[in-house]
Amino acid sequence: DVVMTQSPLSLPVTLGQPASISCRSSQSLVYSDGNTYLNWFQQRPGQSPRRLIYKVSNRDSGVPDRFSGSGSGTDFTLKISRVEAEDVGVYYCMQGTHWPGTFGQGTKVEIK
């Protein structure tokens, strides 16, 4: 299985400041159709996960534009331009290129 490695696992941030989460895969995530199926999910405390970003950099409907995704091949990043209180939670990267889909360990974002 493809191993997804996130860092850091814990991210204390100051309100209004930027935050960045790294995700690395053990194999290239470029699929045979040319797309890269790397997704980012947010799980707020006590809630179900919610997809934020699909195919590396595409924001899902309703996702604030302070969230952005970038990267290619095996190296990806989720950035929050200015952290707000509602962004507290755990963030997961997930690859859907190879079977089975696999998740990173999760990064817990909290306010300092």
Partner 1 sequence: EVQVVESGGGLVQPGGSLRLSCATSGFTFTTYSMTWVRQAPGKGLEWVANIKQDGSEKSYVGSVKGRFTISRDNAKNSLYLQMNSLRAEDTAVYYCASGRNLETWGQGTLVTVSS
103 binds partner 1 (CB under 8 A): yes
41 binds partner 1 (CB under 8 A): yes
Residues in the chain: 112
Using the contact rule CB under 8 A, the part of the chain among 18-26, 49-57, 66-74, 77-85 near partner 1 is 49-57
Question: Residue 14 has which token pair?
Answer: 């100051």
- Residue 14 CA to residue 40 CA, distance in Å, equals 22
**Binding residue for partner 1 (CB under 8 A) from 25, 29, 54, 109?**
54
- Residue 31 CA to residue 15 CA, distance in Å, equals 37
100 binds partner 1 (CB under 8 A): yes
